[in-house]
Amino acid sequence: MTAPQDWHRKDLIAIEDLSRDELETIFHWAERYKPTLGRTNKKLHTLNGVTVVNLFMEPSTRTRVAFEIAAMRLSADVITVMGDASSLVKGETLRDTARNIQALNADMIIMRHSAAGSAKYLSEVIDIPVVNAGDGAHEHPTQALLDAFTLRERLGHDLTGKRITILGDILFSRVARSNIHCLKKLGAEVTLAGPATLVPRGFEKFGVRVCHNLQAALDGADAVMLLRIQHERQTSTHFPSLGEYTSMFGLNEKRASWLKPDAIIMHPGPINRGVELDSALADSGRSVILDQVTNGIAVRMAVLHLCYTTLTAQAS
Ligand code: CP
């Protein structure tokens, strides 16, 4: 496989940085990688001999495992370091941790961290590629990429004019920020919905519609992306109780009927079943939640391949 011409980054930090052509390049490679996921022998040799370190300072199931599988499918050697089991707990700085991992001859670092801006910072203090697996409330670029990849599969490759509603905790959500940038670059019409305390009007500066009336937000949408109510990011002060959130903004059968008849239901996970999303709806035929998870492997294979290819091109 040869590298496409319109990708020159060794790091993936934020969707906000990417051009439409760069997004299309990632989708191109993800489409090529997706059919390999179902093969009996799933290994490709793209990253043969490459060492990838997953540095996860926050809990994760989908992102961490998908990055591990993506790297292994490309024949990389993969090591996962969990923050609470590393020397960071002894007071080592993030910079020193990363520089030591580089000194151990790692070729790429994938990092999740609670601090917004930490992935960018890391990319400035080490030479090897850094892939952002979620930095605080800033961005979660590969989540938006896998979401857009899934939307393109279901709604067609051209998302121009497609109506996508993002519902829930927008204020604290890196997934929402990355998706807003990604969907706008792809030409979609984006509506943000939820309580005014979690969906402030300030988001309108991104060219999206902010709507606090749930029926108006869902009416005629092609897809709805639910966002988890994040207890750990102090949302309790932003609405009276989880029960009241559910009664006003939780997606149930009746409210889903306001969407287009063939609209899809998405969620980045983990789901709070019965809070932001009715449990039966999460498992229904309209839900593409597990497709999103599977697509996360193909998209991350594309990202790892592209970033590493740029590094080797710069070195030669
Ligand atoms: N969607 C997502 O980031 O899930 P994890 O926190 O399990 O990685």
* pLDDT tens for each residue of 137-188: 999 999 999 999 999 999 999 999 999 999 999 998 999 999 999 999 999 9
For the chain, what percent of residues have pLDDT higher than 90? 87
Of ligand 1's atoms, which has the minimum distance to the CA of residue 269? 1
Quickly count: other Cβ atoms within 10 Å of residue 103's Cβ.
Answer: 9
Query: Rounded distance, CA 119 to CA 139, Å?
Result: 10
Rg, C-alpha atoms of the chain: 19
Of ligand 1's atoms, which has the minimum distance to the CA of residue 58? 6
Q: Measure Cα distances from 113 to 17, 96, 299 in Å.
A: 19, 15, 20
What pLDDT shows up at residue 277? 97
Query: Rounded distance, CA 256 to CA 283, Å?
Result: 13
Per-residue DSSP letter, 37: G
What pLDDT shows up at residue 260? 98
Pocket test for ligand 1, best of 54, 60, 232 (most atoms within 8 A of CB): 60
Domain architecture of the chain: domains with CATH: 15-138+294-315 (3.40.50.1370), 141-290 (3.40.50.1370)
Structural tokens at position 82: 């969990």
Residue type, position 7, single letter: W
Q: Which of 75-89, 96-110, 231-245, 302-316 has the highest mean pLDDT?
A: 96-110
Of ligand 1's atoms, which has the minimum distance to the CA of residue 140? 3
Query: Rounded distance, CA 314 to CA 17, Å?
Result: 20
| Residues linked to residue 131 through DSSP beta bridges, in sequence order | 12, 110
Q: Residue 205 pLDDT more than 70?
A: yes
What pLDDT shows up at residue 4? 52
Say if ligand 1 is within 6 A of residue 63 CB: yes
Instruction: Supply the residue whose CA is at minimum distance from atom 4 of ligand 1.
Output: 62
Q: Are strands 189-193 and 163-167 parallel, antiparallel or unpaired?
A: parallel
What pLDDT shows up at residue 79? 97
Query: Rounded distance, CA 264 to CA 46, Å?
Result: 34
